[in-house]
């Protein structure tokens, strides 16, 4: 298979008429979701569990095995023994979230560009596993997509040759700033073209998926960069990959665009449900915790368990900002007795108990995990 020569952007093969209805639905679904975000005081903090879950799911499409609970438990206590491969997974997931955080900070100062993508790549691959994949650097060698360990002869896709890379990336970056007829169609093209160019030795899929919230925020289609697609893409990964393949095998951009817009429609509904559920849980918990504790620190305690749904008891004063250890310990005890917090690991020796807030974790996961 010869290295692929990417189509030049903007595309002239988009069948706009065929997509009219989905474009309308996708924009409406996204606008409804954004309306909800706009009603949240600090959406990035409040929705941080969704960001962690996105990092987990997007990394899972790449092959990591770690779950959100494992990541949260590791963060609650990095001294805990974790087996090496699990540790590497967790590290990649935490890097993913760090990269998204960094991107958002940058986007407040400057638009999305290749330079930023390289910075994000450096953060994403800042790990034992990523070290030999040229973090932050575009590739200088030919790469290919194939089953693990297979030679290039068995590749399902061979991205552009290294000497064409900069030209393709330059065209891609210009298109980022192009005034396309519709922003979501533009995003569909941008995301796929990025994965087709495959500019890095690894991490192209994850960076491509990260582009979704970043682009929407940058283009002001979202008021906060908290809209994630990986749940849909993971659930439909075979079609996702087949649609990408059809672009390079048959120049079938319209099939991809249709798939992507459908993903936005469906995932916007799921994300809206999640956010609504989180807002409802927060309000319910507010009155319950005030009632149970009669404490002036009730809201601080609530905010703490929302931002850190798994933690060591001894860290609660720091996480919540509750001033004395005694007050914090009393609050934690009351929350356990009320069944709001669950003991995930009892205290042992000098280590305090590992506590979790199951209702939030289950809500974010969309199923019973804790």
Ligand X SMILES: Nc1ncnc2c1ncn2[C@@H]1O[C@H](COP(=O)(O)OP(=O)(O)O)[C@@H](O)[C@H]1O
User: What's the CA angle centered on 256, arms 254 and 262, to 5 degrees?
Assistant: 105
Q: Which residue is nearest to Mg ion (CB)?
A: 202
Region of 45 on the Ramachandran plot (φ > 0 left; ψ -120 to 50 alpha; else beta): alpha
- DSSP, res 82: -
In this complex, which beta carbon is closest to ligand X, that of residue 180 or of residue 202?
202
Distances (CA, A) of 325 to 75, 76, 77, 251: 21, 18, 19, 63
Nearer to Mg ion, 60 or 342 (CB): 60
Q: How far is the CB of 202 from Mg ion (least distance, A)?
A: 4
Among ligand X, Mg ion, none, residue 320 binds (CB under 5-8 Å by kind): none
Answer with the entry of ligand X, Mg ion, none that 206 interacts with (C-beta below 5 to 8 A by kind). Answer: ligand X
Q: Which does 208 bind (CB under 5 to 8 A by kind): ligand X, Mg ion, none?
A: ligand X
> Which is closer to ligand X, CB of 129 or CB of 286?
129
**Of residues 114 and 329, the one with the C-beta less far from ligand X:** 114
By CB under 5 A, tell whether 195 contacts Mg ion: no
Query: Strands across the sheet with 310-312, in order?
Result: 310-312, 354-356, 342-345
- Residue 196 contact among ligand X, Mg ion, none, beta carbon within 5 to 8 Å by kind: ligand X
**Strand 310-312 to strand 342-345: parallel, antiparallel, or no bridges (unpaired)?**
unpaired
DSSP calls for 123-160: HHT-STTTGGG-TT---SS---B-STT--GGG-SB-PP
| Beta carbon nearer to ligand X, 206 or 308 | 206
Please, what is the minimum distance in Å from the beta carbon of residue 87 to ligand X?
18
Cβ 269 to ligand X shortest distance, Å? 23
Minimum Å distance from CB 193 to ligand X?
9
Show the DSSP H helices in the chain as ranges. 16-38, 43-46, 48-62, 68-76, 84-107, 114-124, 162-176, 183-197, 204-218, 230-235, 237-250, 253-293, 298-307, 316-320, 325-337, 358-365
Contact at 8 Å (CB) between 156 and 146? yes
SS3 9: coil
In this complex, which beta carbon is closest to ligand X, that of residue 148 or of residue 349?
A: 148
Nearer to Mg ion, 48 or 204 (CB): 204
Nearer to Mg ion, 124 or 184 (CB): 124
Draw the binding track, 44-73, toward Mg ion (x: CB under 5 A; -: no contact).
------------------x-----------
Q: Least separation, in Å, of the C-beta of 244 and ligand X?
A: 4
In angstroms, what is the minimal distance from the CB of 172 to Mg ion? Answer: 20
Q: Provide the minimum distance between the beta carbon of 196 and ligand X in the complex, in angstroms, as a whole number.
A: 5
User: Among ligand X, Mg ion, none, what does residue 73 contact (CB within 5–8 Å per kind)?
Assistant: none
Q: Of 195 and 202, which CB lies nearer to Mg ion in the complex structure?
A: 202
Confirm or reject binding of residue 202 to Mg ion (CB under 5 A).
yes
Report the interface residues with ligand X, using CB under 6 A: 61-62, 145, 156-157, 195-196, 202-206, 208, 241, 244-245, 248
Taking residue 366's Cβ as centre, other Cβ atoms within 10 Å add up to: 13
CA angle, 98 then 362 then 77, to 5°: 50
| Least Cβ distance, residue 190 to ligand X (angstroms) | 13
Shortest spacing between CB 258 and ligand X, in angstroms: 17
Within 102-161, the residues that bind Mg ion by CB under 5 A are none
Q: CA 352 to CA 242: how far, in whole Å? A: 49
CA-wise closest residue to 354 among 310, 304, 301:
310
Q: Which residues bind Mg ion (CB under 5 A)?
A: 62, 202
């Amino acid at each position: 298979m010869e290295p692929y020569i990417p189509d030049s952007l903007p595309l002239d093969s988009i069948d706009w008429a065929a997509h009219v209805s989905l474009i309308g639905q996708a924009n409406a679904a996204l606008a409804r979701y954004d309306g909800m975000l706009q009603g949240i005081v600090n959406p990035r903090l409040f929705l941080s569990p969704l960001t962690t879950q996105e990092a987990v799911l997007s990394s899972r499409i790449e092959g990591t095995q770690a779950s959100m609970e494992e990541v949260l438990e590791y963060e609650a206590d990095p001294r805990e023994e974790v087996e090496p491969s699990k540790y590497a997974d967790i590290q990649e997931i935490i890097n993913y979230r760090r990269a998204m955080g960094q991107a958002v900070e940058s986007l407040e100062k400057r638009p999305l560009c290749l330079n930023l993508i390289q910075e994000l790549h450096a953060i994403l691959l800042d790990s034992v596993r990523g070290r030999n994949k040229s973090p932050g650097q575009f590739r200088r060698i030919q790469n290919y997509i194939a089953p693990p360990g297979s030679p290039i002869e068995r590749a399902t896709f061979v991205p552009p040759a290294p000497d064409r890379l900069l030209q393709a990336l330059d065209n891609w970056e210009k298109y980022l700033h192009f005034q396309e007829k519709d922003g979501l169609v533009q995003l569909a093209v941008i995301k796929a073209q990025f994965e087709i160019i495959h500019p890095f030795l690894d991490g192209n899929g994850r960076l491509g998926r990260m582009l979704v919230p970043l682009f929407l925020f940058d283009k002001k289609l979202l008021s906060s960069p908290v809209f994630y697609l990986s749940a849909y893409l993971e659930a439909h990964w075979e079609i996702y990959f087949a649609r990408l393949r059809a672009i390079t095998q048959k120049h079938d951009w319209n099939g991809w665009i249709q798939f992507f817009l459908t993903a936005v429609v469906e995932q916007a509904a799921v994300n809206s449900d999640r956010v609504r559920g989180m807002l409802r849980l927060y309000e319910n918990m507010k009155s319950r915790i005030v009632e149970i504790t009669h404490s002036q620190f009730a809201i601080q305690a609530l905010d703490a368990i929302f931002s850190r749904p798994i933690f060591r008891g001894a860290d609660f004063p720091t996480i919540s900002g509750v001033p004395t250890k005694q007050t914090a310990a009393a609050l934690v005890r009351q929350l356990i007795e009320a069944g709001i917090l669950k003991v995930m690991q009892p205290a042992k020796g000098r280590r305090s108990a590992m506590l979790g807030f199951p209702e939030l974790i289950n809500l974010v996961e969309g199923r019973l995990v804790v």
